[in-house]
Structure 1
Amino acid sequence: MKKIILLLSFLCISVISNAQDIKTICNNINNLNTAILNGSIKRQDAAGQFKTLIEQLKKTSYKPSSSGWVFPLKSYKISAIGGTNGNGYSDKGYNFLDGNKHTAHPAHDIFINDRNQDCLDDRTHQPVDVLVVDDGIVIACTNEWDPSSSLRGGKFIWVYHPAQNFFTYYAHNQAIFVKPGDEVKQGQKIAEVGRTGYNAYKKRSPTHLHFSAFHLVNDLPVPYNPYLQLKKAKTI
């Protein structure tokens, strides 16, 4: 009995230690991401630090099985994506290390029914939930944004998905409900759709979620077009 108790105690300590390690790594990634957005770090230094932190995260991350995506907006589907067959996506010239200075649009804008721009669905009169597409770990986010800010993403969330080694990015949120280091499950509510961000806040911009996906190439995020995955995604 004593051996069993000692073993259980060891396992509990290991789980707690691993969770603390993940939180520390993710907080460091979050701080680095802020520096990249602000342009307060040299590109070469940022690249080196990001690669080191991602390698650390890979070693501590649990890798559950994965089978398809959940659509990132509750009660919405592929028809909510702007453009024709997802042609609003354009990653030409994008570089993660450019931070807030990049001019590309490696994303799909997913529009909600919100004619009066109050961030509530016109049919339900409720906020629209942003759902994480697959199991993952929150590596960066901010729940602070001021209309005078030039930050284009507004209140955003980055999630790392260890099972398939990719990232997803959710921007322009009204409110977020996660923090760096949180492990999130597929379909979990992580935010509510909003109008935060330099361009998204303007009256000319319909209310939408800015959604991106990134592969890791040499341990740095490189965007890819996730339209087919979104098309096959399950609506909740």
Structure 2
Amino acid sequence: MQKLILFFSFVLIGSGALAQRDTAAFTKFNSFNNSVLNGGIKKAEAQKQFDMVLKRINLLEMLRAERIQPKLQWVFPLKGYKSGAIGGTHGNGYFDKGYRYLDGNKHGAHPAHDIFINDRNQDCIDDHTQKPVDVIAVDDGWVIACTNQWEPNSNMRGGKFIWIYHPATHIFTYYAHNNQIFVKPGGYVTQGQKIAEVGRTGYNAYKKRSPTHLHFSAFKLADGIPVPYNPYEQLKKAKTL
């Protein structure tokens, strides 16, 4: 009996230590992602970092009581809004030609959909509800990188952003220009969970000429590096909360 108690104690201690190491791994990946924004990261290093963080997620998934199951559809990333809020005509604001993840803050193209809120006076408050608009996770996943710091004189395009990896579908989603974020690297989020509030952070989003919006992207791994794909149809079919 004593041996059995010692065995389970060892398992629990080991699981706790693993969780701590995984949190550290997420923090390291977050620092790596910030380095990508500043430029100078080689492809081999990027592949190594993505491989590392996905292995950590797989280990964490093994420790979870319930595995993440694929959902039939997303929820729309802005609470109270639907696909009609997506900019452009039939999603034509999305174009990924020329985009490279490793180009960081200097990348070309616009591999994203801008989703606009009702905010004529640009105070980040919905004109109808008189409340901030919640940014929500489209699916279950793990926060792999984010930042809640941005200064108006910064040239960083994304402002306060969040990257989430969704193990059930092996995709990444990216949420940018937030006013405030409520998650940290290594955090697990469920579909529909509030992760941020819509804002105007980011080099272009901060300017008066830019209506208040969420910049939303989706990626898949190709040769160990995130490559964007157009999620317009998934957004059109997404549930509204």
Superposition TM-score, scaled by structure 2 size: 0.91
- 2:139 aligned counterpart, secondary structure: coil
For the residues of structure 1 that align with 2:8 and 2:138, how far apart are their CA atoms? 33
Contact residue 46 and residue 97 of structure 1 kept, 8 A? no
Deviates more, 1:48-57 or 1:142-151: 48-57
Contact residue 35 and residue 41 of structure 2 kept, 8 A? no
Alignment match, 1:9: 9
Deviations 1:140-181 (A, max 9, x none): 111000010000000000011111111000000000011111
Find out whether 1:97 has 2:102 as its counterpart.
yes
Match among 111, 124, 129 for residue 124 of structure 1: 129
Match among 137, 158, 162 for residue 167 of structure 2: 162
Match among 195, 199, 202 for residue 194 of structure 1: 199
Alignment match, 2:30: 30
- 1:75 aligned counterpart, secondary structure: coil
Provide closer, same or farther for how the CA distance between residues 135 and 55 of structure 1 changes in structure 2, counting only shifts above 3 A. closer
Alignment match, 2:58: 59
Deviations 1:52-96 (A, max 9, x none): 424433532414102121110011111110011111101001100
Deviations 1:167-217 (A, max 9, x none): 000000000011111111111111000000000000000000000000011
For the residues of structure 1 that align with 2:14 and 2:169, how far apart are their CA atoms? 24
Provide closer, same or farther for how the CA distance between residues 14 and 188 of structure 1 changes in structure 2, counting only shifts above 3 A. farther
Contact residue 69 and residue 133 of structure 1 kept, 8 A? yes
Contact residue 171 and residue 211 of structure 1 kept, 8 A? yes
Match among 188, 210, 221 for residue 215 of structure 2: 210
Alignment match, 1:153: 158
For the residues of structure 1 that align with 2:47 and 2:114, how far apart are their CA atoms? 31
Letter in 2 for 1:173: N
Letter in 1 for 2:27: N
Match among 73, 76, 94 for residue 71 of structure 1: 76
RMSD over aligned CA atoms reads: 1.7
For the residues of structure 2 that align with 1:55 and 1:184, how far apart are their CA atoms? 16
Letter in 1 for 2:17: S
For the residues of structure 2 that align with 1:14 and 1:55, how far apart are their CA atoms? 20
Q: Percent identity?
A: 63
For the residues of structure 2 that align with 1:80 and 1:56, how far apart are their CA atoms? 36
Contact residue 25 and residue 56 of structure 1 kept, 8 A? no
Please report how far the alpha carbon of residue 130 of structure 1 lies from its aligned counterpart in structure 2 after TM superposition. 0.4
For the residues of structure 2 that align with 1:113 and 1:6, how far apart are their CA atoms? 59
Q: Unmatched 5+ residue regions in structure 2?
A: 62-66
Contact residue 21 and residue 60 of structure 1 kept, 8 A? no
Find out whether 1:228 has 2:227 as its counterpart.
no
Q: Unmatched 5+ residue regions in structure 1?
A: none
Alignment match, 2:45: 46
Aligned length: 235
Contact residue 61 and residue 162 of structure 1 kept, 8 A? no
